[in-house]
Amino acid sequence: MKLAFSTLGVPGLPVPDVVRLAVTHGCHGVELRAHPEEPVHPGIGAAERAAVAAEFKAGGIEVLGIAGYARVAAPGDDEPVIDEIRRLLDLARDLDAPFVRVFPGAGPDQSPEEADTTAARRLGTAAEYAADLGVRILLETHDSHRTGADAIRILGLVGHHHVGSLWDVMHTWLGGEQPSSTYAALAPYLGYVQVKDIASAEDTTPLPLGAGVLPLAECVEVLSRHGWDGWLCWEYEKRWYEAAAPLPGLLDAGREHLARLLNESA
């Protein structure tokens, strides 16, 4: 498996520094948080995109994915959501990133059936554009659809190769789902896996990998047992928890922890 980290852990860090961080700490790739407060987002122009792509290529680091914030099940008109996804897909294509992350984001007043149908309709439309660009849209296990069982209701309706899943191990755990059940649901659609660690369900402040309660060993064991050979991306949510320890000082130990789990599962 390949290892990556999300720029959510180093908010606002300039691209050259992100690349150096990945190289220094033996990471193979980076997930770029695509938000206007970050250096890379859909609002940057062609020249900036070319410079970012060249920076990553020169460092030998892959752009794993573009972590967008489109909420595909949210109430309202379809077109603004589809347009947001298309802009994320354009950015991913320009940076040679294979994946774009989206959220479910259903509203509290929507029925599950309405939310699932809305999300599937929008993803199905955006999938055709994604296919033309050679990029996959990944629905993260998050918010209104935090388990694999939740996500599969949408993905099964879409039924398109260019729409898949992103397994966030914290959200499936918070949803009470066992790693084996999550994998069974998401395996046909799985793009990559976001790993992290926290103290408890009540305290989701990010911790070093292995220092918390999330079932990372079980997740890695399930993936290894089934021969899955994709990406593990450490999403350290420093952006939301300013008091959390800085990510750069944790990367070596985090990489080594994941390597141990992979060796134990081999």
- In tens, the pLDDT along 70-87 reads 999 999 999 999 999 999
The pLDDT, as a whole number, for residue 138 is: 98
Q: Answer whether 1's CB lies under 8 Å from 262's CB.
A: yes
The pLDDT, as a whole number, for residue 265 is: 87
- pLDDT band, very low/low/confident/very high, at 39 (cuts 50, 70, 90): very high
User: What's the pLDDT tens digit per position in 111-150?
Assistant: 999 999 999 999 999 999 999 999 999 999 999 999 999 9
Q: Which amino acid is at 27?
A: C
Q: Answer whether 115's CB lies under 8 Å from 81's CB.
A: no
The pLDDT, as a whole number, for residue 136 is: 98
Buried b vs exposed e over 7-44: b needs ≥16 C-beta within 10 Å? bbbbbebebeebbebbeebebbbbbbbbbeebbbbbeb
Please state the domain count of the chain: 1
The pLDDT, as a whole number, for residue 234 is: 98
Q: Answer whether 127's CB lies under 8 Å from 136's CB.
A: no
pLDDT of 100 over the 90 cut: yes
pLDDT of 61 over the 90 cut: yes
pLDDT of 20 over the 80 cut: yes
- pLDDT band, very low/low/confident/very high, at 221 (cuts 50, 70, 90): very high
Q: State the CATH number of the domain containing residue 188.
A: 3.20.20.150
Quote the percentage of the chain above a pLDDT of 90. Answer: 98
The pLDDT, as a whole number, for residue 266 is: 76
- pLDDT band, very low/low/confident/very high, at 243 (cuts 50, 70, 90): very high
Beta-carbon contacts of 28 under 8 Å, excluding residues fewer than 6 positions away, are: 2, 3, 4, 22, 61, 62, 231
For the segment 46-62, the average pLDDT, to the nearest whole number, is: 98
The whole-chain average pLDDT of the chain stands at: 97
Where in the sequence is the domain holding 120, given as residue range(s)? 2-265
Beta-carbon contacts of 124 under 8 Å, excluding residues fewer than 6 positions away, are: 157, 158, 159, 160, 163
Other beta carbons within 10 angstroms of residue 85's beta carbon come to: 23
Give the C-alpha distances (Å, rounded to integers) separating 172 from 76, 185, 222, 225.
27, 11, 14, 19
